[in-house]
Every structure is written in C-alpha cells, then in structure tokens.
Amino acid sequence: MKTLVCPTCGCSLVRLGISKEKSVTSRSNGKEYHFCCQGCADLYTIGQEDASSPDPTANVTTSSTVRSQGSRKGLKAVRA
C-alpha cells in the first residue's frame, strides 16, 4: 500500500489519521491529489496557477527586506 502524502506540506496523511476517503481531493491534469486540509489544497491550486502564468512576475509580491539582529533577549527581526 502506498502512503498518501500531502503534495503541499509533505505530511503523511496516514500519520495524521486521515484516510483517502476523508482527505481533501483535487484533480489536475488527469491526476488525483490528496491533501491533509483545505488550506493545503488551496495553496497547491494557487501554486499551479502561478506556475502556468505566462508572465513569471505576474503573481509576485514584493516586501521590504528583513534581517536578523542579535539582542540580549535573543534575535529580533529589523527592517533593512
């Protein structure tokens, strides 16, 4: 028996106690995919849409660079 693995997060559905019948299922390109939750299915769908976009920058969002800076209480994120 092949263990079902969520293609988005890589977790084993068997270890999570999710049967094939109870998994979130999606079909794409003639293949059936099983996910641990609806959130992973949604992320996978968004990723597939991004990959098929003709303009590689069409779905890219930008944000300011964040780097770590040490402090006495541990690491904290600061804007660069």
pLDDT, tens digit, 9 for 90 and up, residues 19-76: 999 999 998 888 999 999 999 999 988 887 776 655 544 444 444 444 444 444 455 5
User: 16, 5, 6, 13: which is closest to 40 by C-alpha?
Assistant: 6
Q: How far apart are CA 17 and CA 4, in angstroms?
A: 11
In the chain, domain spans? 1-55
Give pTM, 2 decimals: 0.58
Contact 57, 21 (CB under 8 A): no
What per-residue confidence (pLDDT) applies to 65? 41
CB atoms within 10 A of CB 8: 19
pLDDT band per the 50, 70, 90 thresholds, residue 79: low
Q: How far apart are CA 23 and CA 79, in angstroms?
A: 40
In the 8-state DSSP scheme, what is residue 68?
E
